[in-house]
């Protein structure tokens, strides 16, 4: 019985953090200084790393990053950019879901994926000055170089 309790406890230690945040996609390309801030920890980002809901992706003055979300949405951030993935949900059977991201500063290029093609109203990008709804398949957002808020 003690062994069973030990193994269940051990499993919960490793499984619960993974359940806390939804896996949204992968970093496909990372150049220069790029980091991910997650749960108060800042980590250098590299190709192949998983991106989760709630992650803050930050590029330095020489940084750029390309992210592919699970619905095949492509996000490309340029230098001095800060992006937060606020919400991502995708049902691969029905091709429905939702994407919500905040661009605090810098630039973000977006090529929409399956969610936007099926439910354009379910995709929103926030900037310091506006909330953008999706009405096309490709677009670029320039949130300026102001202070991150």
Q: pLDDT tens digits for 5-36? A: 444 544 444 444 444 568 999 999 999 999 99
pLDDT at 14: 45
| pLDDT, greater one: 43 or 136 | 43
3 part of a folded domain: no
Looking at the structure of the chain, the number of domains it has is: 1
136 assigned to some structural domain: yes
Share above pLDDT 70 across residues of the chain, in percent, rounded to a whole number: 74
pTM of the model: 0.79
d(CA 126, CA 71): 20
- CB-based contact 77:101 (threshold 8 Å): no
Q: Is 10 domain-assigned?
A: no
Examine residue 1 and state whether it is found in any structural domain, yes or no. Answer: no
In this predicted structure, which of 5-14, 31-40, 100-109, 138-147 has the lowest mean pLDDT?
5-14
Range of the domain at 125: 23-142
Is the Cα torsion angle 36, 41, 42, 45 positive or negative in sign?
negative
**Nearest residue to 35 (alpha-carbon basis) of 26, 45, 27, 25:** 45
Residue 117 counted as domain residue: yes
Q: Is 100 part of any domain?
A: yes
Say if 67 falls within a structural domain.
Answer: yes
Determine the 3-state secondary structure of 48 from DSSP. Answer: coil
Kindly state whether residue 36 falls inside one of the protein's structural domains.
Answer: yes
| Average pLDDT over every residue of 105-111 | 91
């Amino acid at each position: 019985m003690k062994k069973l309790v030990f193994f269940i406890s051990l499993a919960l230690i490793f499984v619960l953090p993974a359940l806390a945040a939804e896996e949204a996609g992968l970093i496909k390309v990372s150049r220069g200084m790029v980091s991910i801030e997650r749960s108060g920890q800042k980590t250098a980002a590299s190709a192949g790393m998983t991106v989760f809901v709630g992650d803050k992706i930050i590029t330095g003055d020489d940084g750029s990053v390309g992210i592919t979300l699970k619905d095949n949405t492509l996000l490309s951030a340029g230098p001095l950019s800060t992006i937060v993935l606020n919400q991502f949900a995708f049902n691969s059977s029905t091709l429905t879901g939702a994407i919500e991201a905040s661009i605090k500063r810098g630039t973000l290029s977006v090529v929409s994926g399956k969610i936007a093609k099926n439910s354009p109203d379910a995709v929103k990008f926030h900037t310091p000055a506006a909330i953008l709804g999706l009405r096309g398949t490709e677009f670029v957002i320039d949130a300026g170089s102001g202070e991150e808020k």
